[in-house]
Structure 1
Amino acid sequence: MLLLALDTATPAVTVALHDGERVLAASSQVDARRHGELLVPAVDSVLAEAGQTLSAVTGIVVGTGPGPYTGLRVGLVTADTFGFSLGVPVHGICTLDGLAFASGIEEGPFVVATDARRKEVYWARYADPRTPLTRPAVDRPADIADDVAGVPAVGAGALLYPDTFPDARDPAHASAGALAALAAVRLRAGEHPGPPRPLYLRRPDAQVPKNYKVVTPK
């Protein structure tokens, strides 16, 4: 097993190579505006560090969000392209699940919350690092204060809103190494991690304007 994992659902552009037992090489750069520019060079760097070639990869793991539309689709399109060109499966993992797995919290309950912008968070509640209790959602922190009260929280969304998440902890952003490790655990257990389909919890900012004027050639 040689898994190439990547995630662009948070401001981190994160890539890792995992052999089913451990991370062989990893790269993470936090830059919310340069996902498309940074991702493929990071893949090249990780492969070179591990002394491997892309053709040796047996599976792709990609974070499916939730996350901003533009950033999230960079990782998903890249993963689909690699999977198609190599003829290997592409496994989708919820980015919040990856953060839960990387949290270091051995027993729950706890919450994962990432920054959804617009003064909102993407969040889910977990029983332990592998078991979600709720589906991912997007809400204003004040609106979920009762749901998350009294439990630890990880992720940049939790760190941004200490009034709602007083026990906020690192990691702030997604880790491709954690995504790959979680995928390896699920694959060894005979589970299918999931399809590489994006978790878009709200409509993109860019939309076709209503009542626009149609111009026809004369």
Structure 2
Amino acid sequence: MITDASVEVGPALFISLLIITLSFIPIFTLEGQEGRLFGPLAFTKTYAMAGAALLAIVVIPILMGYWIRGKIPPESSNPLNRFLIRVYHPLLLKVLHWPKTTLLVAALSVLTVLWPLNKVGGEFLPQINEGDLLYMPSANAAGDFRSRGGEHAAKKRQADYERTGSGAGIWQNRESGNRHRFSSTGDGRNDYPA
């Protein structure tokens, strides 16, 4: 029985996992920033799916032989299965009874995507201004930045930013609670007012 089930389900499971794996091939064609961003995801997903496909046809049937023992109850003994079969069976019969209508509804569903697809822009990932700088002064082990030296360094850095015209900064005197903001861009522009 386990052998018959494995022979029946194994190839379909393997092919479905293979299709999911192949669907990630277009991501490997991305170049530049998009390729660096999504390439690791595509490799990870591909390796995971390839491993799952291999397990589905090699390891799972062997484990089924060891773990599934004794009398296997029929599907109808489970109330959830009975409910799902009762709902699914009439729908399946209707779809099989009217195949042309089913194909027409499926084709219309696909065609409804065309109008929104025309409204989507051509740029996959917007350009990022990598000249932005975020400076976060590190605190000591106790998480305290109240030392005079740290405060003095923050004020000096603030003065340097203002002198060079590369924007303003943010630092906070934790004793008085006064907050000062700045935003700095590496190319000397101040695009982001604080």
User: Higher relative contact order by CA 8 Å / sep ≥ 6: 1 or 2?
Assistant: 1
TM over 0.5: no
- TM-score (norm. length: structure 2): 0.20
Higher helix share: 2
